[in-house]
A = this chain, B = another copy of it.
Amino acid sequence: MTTQAQDNGFCCADHSGAANVAAILAAAEARARATGARLTPVRRRVLEILLQAHGALGAYDVLEKLSAEGFGSQPPVAYRALNFLVDQGLAHRIRRLNAFTACAHPGQDHRAAFLICESCDSVTEADAGAVSAALDQAAKAAGFDLARATIEAVGQCSACREAAR
């Protein structure tokens, strides 16, 4: 199984368009320098791959591309770069899909929720402000000290719903 959505010229959900890629990469590099993190060639390329992808990519999807470009060909190469990006807040892991996606709002300290379309496999990062607040509240009520959360919704995006009518 590949997790990559079809690049058929039609794009369901709003995502980081190619036009933004360069800007986000530059911002990522600036941010990395500032924090002492090293955005190495593999890591940079993985971020680029995620930014250019429609939908989320599995680690092995990423690995395949890396391998074809002369980077290492074994799973740890992809997983290490992906985990680095997640740690840096430059990417998110979508557990429901066993996949990764570039962060749409890097640099901002935000909690995200993901809207996963079952029709076109697109993954949209939604603002989870209110959801997060409610979850904080629920955790507090249970006496639970919340560190971080995964919020993933599955359904159909607006474009696909329109198309289905």
What residues of chain A have their CB less than 8 Å away from a CB belonging to chain B? 95-96, 113, 115, 117-118, 124, 126-128, 130-131, 133-135, 137-139, 141-158, 161
Tell me the complex Cα distance, A19–B149, Å.
31
Q: Which of these, B96, B135, B137, B155, contacts A150 with CB under 8 Å?
A: B96
Q: Which of these, B134, B155, B158, contacts A133 with CB under 8 Å?
A: B134
Instruction: Tell me whether B134 and A158 are in contact (CB under 8 A).
Output: no
Q: Which of these, B148, B150, B155, B158, contacts A95 with CB under 8 Å?
A: B150
Query: Shortest distance in angstroms between A152's beta carbon and chain B's nearest beta carbon?
Result: 4
* 12 A/B residue pairs, CB under 8 Å, sorted by A: A95-B150, A126-B142, A128-B138, A130-B138, A131-B131, A131-B135, A131-B138, A142-B157, A144-B153, A144-B156, A145-B161, A149-B153
Query: Shortest distance in angstroms between A163's beta carbon and chain B's nearest beta carbon?
Result: 12
Q: Which of these, B124, B131, B147, B154, contacts A156 with CB under 8 Å?
A: B147
Instruction: Tell me whether A157 and B138 are in contact (CB under 8 A).
Output: no
Inter-chain contacts of A148 with B (CB < 8 A): 153-155
Instruction: Tell me whether B138 and A158 are in contact (CB under 8 A).
Output: no
Inter-chain contacts of A153 with B (CB < 8 A): 135, 139, 144, 146-150
Instruction: Tell me whether B149 and A154 are in contact (CB under 8 A).
Output: yes
Instruction: Tell me whether B156 and A145 are in contact (CB under 8 A).
Output: yes
Tell me the complex Cα distance, A64–B43, Å.
40
Tell me the complex Cα distance, A136–B138, Å.
16
Query: Shortest distance in angstroms between A154's beta carbon and chain B's nearest beta carbon?
Result: 5
Q: A95-B96, A145-B157 are in contact. List 15 more A-B contacts (CB 8 A).
A: A95-B150, A115-B142, A126-B141, A126-B144, A130-B138, A131-B131, A131-B138, A144-B155, A144-B156, A145-B158, A146-B154, A147-B155, A149-B153, A150-B152, A151-B151
